[in-house]
Every structure is written in structure tokens, then in C-alpha cells.
């Protein structure tokens, strides 16, 4: 029998009846939520974990077939909530974890009271009617660099993704996170992340959600936040002054204020 909590390095802290679950994005681990945890664990029970292949998860549990789509990662989220026998959870996801949480909530809506998307994107590729931020050819070129020199790719891309060049320590931390991830798993997760198109799933989501859109984000242009808001039921959009793709790391105070405002307004 699989030990789900050990597999995903699940850690539970805080105190409070309401559960908040935090899910990290590509190339990161649960440590990226530390600034938010310091605030929310004072009044909530908080759950953080590592997706298989990241952080201190069980690397032996990684299966290329299971994790060949975001559905495999969504199943991990569902299994954690099942194991802990939780319902009505506030799920806070960053980047690709937003779509993972959305997929989990579509399958098992009873587990989720609300979804909070931090810098989400249902599709990263530009087409004739949608600005996902990246051309398919440019994305394929990035994959080629990643395949040939993952550490070099990490060192060049992480600071760009983080943004906020006046604070280089932020880019350095994200680079360290990328470089600490198993390269083979990271390459597979990158393709799943950046080639997935979850736009059709938005209309299937019934759980109330908040989208936190950064004012400038190379991976999720401002149009993406509006697209999610316009195509998702029970959706709230908040545009942050924060820039870059990781406001929970670069601008935690503003991110906390926006989340608290939403969950207080919705009775969590």
C-alpha cells in the first residue's frame, strides 16, 4: 500500500478549523510558501507537500506514464485529501499547480471549498485568439536547450521567470530550486506543464475561485488572467501590483492581503 503522505512529503502545521492547502509550481518545492505559512498558520491548519519528483518527495514513486499529464498530479492531490479525510479545503496553487488543483476540483468537488490561483495559465502557447505568452517554436527551442544543458537552462531562465531584476537574490533562489530538481523528471514535467491546454476545463469548474494576476509576468500575460475570469464560473480576478511570476516569494505581503480579503469575504 502506498504511503501517500510520505510519497508527497506532506507537512501539516498551524491551528484552526479551516484547512488551507498550498501547492507549488514547476521546479519548486513546498519551501516557496514559507512567507505565507508564517501568516496563515496562526489561524488556519495549513498543508504543504511536494509533487512527486520535487523537493523531498519519494523519487522512486515517479512514473512517467502516470505523470505524463496533469491528471496524474491532480490524482496526487485527491489522494492526499482522501488520506487525511478532508473536505471544503481552500486550495492555493502557484502556476501549473493552479490547473492541477482545478482538475482535482472538477473530479472531486466535495473536497474543495475554494481555489486560489497564483499566477495561473491554462495554456502557455499563443494562437490566433489567445495570448498565452509564448510561441510554439520558441517553446520547442527552450526544450532543446533544457535537454542539452538543464543546469544552464535553469540559470538563464529562472531569473527571467522570477522577474524583479533589482532583487537578484530572488532569481538566485529560484535557480537553486530548479537546479535541485532531478533533471530527467524536470524535463518531463516541463513538457507536461508548458504543452498542456486546459482552456476547455475552465468551463467545467464549479468551485469558486480567485485568480491573482501579476501586473507584469513573462509566463502569464495580463490577458491570461482576464481569460480565466471570463471563462470560469464563480470567478474573482485581482490584479496585483507585484511583477514577475512568483508573487508569493517576491511580494508576499500583497499576496497575503489579496488572499485574506478573498477568504474573509467568502466566509473561510
Residue 94 has phi, psi (to 5 degrees) of: -115, 135
> Catalytic site residue 95?
yes
For the beta carbon of residue 3, count every other beta carbon within 10 angstroms.
11
Task: Tell me whether residue 248 is one of the annotated catalytic residues.
Answer: no
Residue of 177, 199, 198 lying closest to 73 (CA atoms): 198
Measure the CA–CA gap between 35 and 256, rounded to whole angstroms: 9
Cα(93)–Cα(61) distance, integer angstroms: 22
Catalytic residue among 94, 245, 248, 251: 245
Say whether 23 sits in a helix, a strand or coil: strand
By the 8 A CB rule, do 73 and 47 touch? no
CB 216 within 8 A of CB 137: no
Are 21 and 114 in contact by the 8 Å Cβ rule? The answer is no
To the query of whether residue 154 is one of the catalytic residues in this protein, the response is: no
SS3 of 191-239: the string is HHHHHCECHHHHCCCCCCEEEEEEEECCCCCHHHHHHHHHHCCCEEEEE
Quick check: helix, strand or coil at residue 180?
helix
Of 54, 217, 248, 251, the catalytic one is: 217
Report the side by side order of strands in the sheet with 89-94. 11-14, 45-48, 19-23, 89-94, 112-118, 209-216, 235-243
Please pick, among 54, 57, 76, 95, the residue that the annotation labels catalytic. 95
Residues labelled catalytic? 95, 217, 245
Amino acid at each position: 500500500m502506498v504511503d501517500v503522505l510520505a510519497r508527497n512529503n506532506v507537512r501539516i502545521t498551524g491551528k484552526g478549523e479551516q484547512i488551507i492547502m498550498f501547492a507549488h509550481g514547476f521546479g519548486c518545492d513546498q519551501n516557496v510558501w514559507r512567507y505565507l505559512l508564517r501568516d496563515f498558520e496562526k489561524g488556519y491548519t495549513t498543508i504543504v507537500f511536494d509533487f512527486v519528483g520535487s523537493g523531498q518527495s519519494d523519487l522512486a514513486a515517479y512514473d512517467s506514464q502516470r505523470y505524463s499529464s496533469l491528471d496524474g498530479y491532480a490524482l496526487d492531490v485527491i489522494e492526499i485529501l482522501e488520506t487525511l479525510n478532508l473536505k471544503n479545503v481552500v486550495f492555493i496553487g502557484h502556476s501549473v499547480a493552479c490547473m492541477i488543483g482545478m482538475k482535482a476540483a472538477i473530479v472531486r468537488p466535495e473536497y474543495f471549498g475554494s481555489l486560489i490561483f497564483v499566477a495561473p495559465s491554462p495554456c502557455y502557447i499563443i494562437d490566433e485568439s489567445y495570448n498565452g505568452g509564448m510561441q510554439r517554436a520558441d517553446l520547442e527551442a527552450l526544450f532543446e536547450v533544457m535537454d542539452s544543458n538543464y543546469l544552464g537552462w535553469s540559470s538563464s531562465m529562472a531569473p527571467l521567470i522570477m522577474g524583479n531584476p533589482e532583487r537578484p537574490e530572488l532569481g538566485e533562489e529560484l535557480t537553486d530550486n530548479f537546479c535541485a530538481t532531478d533533471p530527467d523528471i524536470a524535463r518531463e514535467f516541463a513538457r507536461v506543464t508548458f504543452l498542456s491546454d486546459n482552456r476547455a476545463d475552465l468551463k467545467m469548474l464549479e468551485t469558486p475561485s480567485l485568480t491573482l494576476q501579476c501586473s507584469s509576468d513573462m509566463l502569464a500575460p495580463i490577458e491570461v488572467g482576464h481569460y480565466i475570469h471570463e471563462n470560469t464560473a464563480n470567478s474573482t480576478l485581482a490584479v496585483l501590483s507585484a511583477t514577475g511570476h512568483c508573487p508569493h516569494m517576491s511580494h508576499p505581503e500583497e499576496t497575503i492581503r489579496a488572499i485574506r480579503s478573498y477568504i474573509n469575504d467568502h466566509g473561510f
